[in-house]
């Protein structure tokens, strides 16, 4: 089978999946959204992000699919559009402040605002048993600072509603503070990151800056950092901490202007990021993210989920 035939086969399969998904009722949700509801999904040209965009669009929302690469993003959006889904593409590089500003301006001009932000864009350069920190600055810049900067840029654009706006951060259990495996060895640091009453953005930034400094100095191995997928784990640890912090900050907003922010672990999904070694299909990896984005329970914020269940940080 030639390359074009394989591409056509993959596209036909995606179109069939779209048609199937649209027939599945969302019986465990109160339908508060409509075609006017706008959801932005970062890094959604492939993998989990693409699947989140697909599922949200299949539930009747307007979805903005984003990608660093114009051609790749346009092709991904075209696949969903051919399935009859309301998806538009716009270029976005979450590591580039000017790209974020340009995207925010376009959102304001095109839609006036958004209702849902899914921070999916992320990178990981370790596969299997590899644990190089050579790309740590890029991992931290994309996974943590990219997520944080998108939240800051989109909050002023999140539209008032009775249901509340939603922010979903794609994270990982590798970044858990108190997991049995892969946790930070420094107990005092764990306690500071775990204390939501005293936690600040500056301290989260200081934590990742300390890690990057030790990487640069070559001393990180004795710093008590996670020993598996170290740079990725630290980046997701920061995302988890920032999720809890933002939920606390946003909790004071008045009714009708609420913004709920949560994070979730999709599991070890079979994507390019895992070198296709994952054991979870993308549709399952995306499910909890979509569930959180559409959840009607306004009391849920500042939580960490996996498989639609709350897990500890």
Cite the active site residues.
232
Q: What is the DSSP string of 95-148?
A: T-HHHHHHHHHHHHHHHS-BSEEEE--------TT----TTHHHHHIIIIIHHH
How far is residue 35's CA from residue 88's CA, in Å, rounded to a whole number? 13
Q: Which of 174, 193, 173 is nearest to 288 (CA)?
A: 173
Task: Determine which helix (DSSP H) or strand (DSSP E) holds 180, and give its type and residue range.
Answer: none
How far is residue 150's CA from residue 170's CA, in Å, rounded to a whole number? 13
Token pair recorded at residue 248: 């606390």
**Exposure pattern of 210-240 as b/e (b: 16+ CB <10 Å)?**
ebbebbeeeebeebbbbeebbbbbbbbbbbb
Say if residue 159 is exposed, middle or buried (CB neighbours under 10 Å; 0-12, 13-18, 19+): middle
Neighbours of 32 (CB within 10 A): 15
Location of structure tokens 């925010």: 104
Tell me, what DSSP letter sits at residue 4? H
């Amino acid at each position: 089978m030639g390359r074009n035939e394989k591409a056509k086969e993959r596209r036909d399969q995606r179109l069939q999946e779209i048609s199937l998904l649209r027939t599945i009722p969302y019986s465990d949700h109160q339908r508060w959204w409509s075609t006017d509801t706008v959801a932005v999904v970062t890094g959604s040209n492939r993998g989990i992000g693409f699947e989140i965009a697909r599922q949200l669009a299949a539930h009747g929302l307007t979805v903005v699919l984003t990608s660093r690469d114009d051609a790749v993003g346009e092709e991904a959006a075209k696949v969903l559009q051919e399935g009859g889904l309301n998806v538009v593409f716009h270029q976005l590089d979450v590591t580039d402040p000017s790209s974020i500003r340009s995207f925010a301006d376009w959102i304001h001009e095109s839609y006036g605002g958004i209702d849902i932000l899914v921070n999916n864009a992320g990178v990981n350069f370790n596969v299997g048993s590899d644990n190089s920190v050579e790309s740590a600055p890029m991992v931290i810049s994309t996974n943590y600072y990219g997520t944080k900067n998108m939240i800051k840029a989109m909050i002023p654009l999140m539209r008032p509603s009775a249901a509340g706006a939603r922010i979903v951060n794609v994270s990982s259990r590798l970044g858990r503070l108190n997991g049995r495996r892969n946790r930070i060895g420094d107990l005092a640091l764990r306690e500071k990151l775990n204390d939501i009453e005293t936690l600040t953005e500056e301290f989260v930034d200081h934590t990742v800056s300390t890690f990057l400094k030790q990487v640069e100095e070559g001393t990180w191995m004795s710093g008590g950092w996670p020993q598996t997928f170290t740079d990725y784990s630290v980046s997701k640890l920061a995302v988890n901490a920032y999720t809890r912090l933002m939920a606390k900050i946003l909790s004071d907003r008045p009714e009708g202007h609420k913004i709920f922010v949560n994070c979730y672990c999709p599991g070890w999904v079979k994507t390019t990021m895992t070198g296709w070694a994952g054991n979870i299909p993308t549709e399952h990896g995306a499910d909890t993210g979509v569930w959180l984005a559409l959840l009607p329970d306004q009391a849920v914020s500042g939580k960490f989920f996996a498989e639609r269940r709350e897990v500890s940080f």
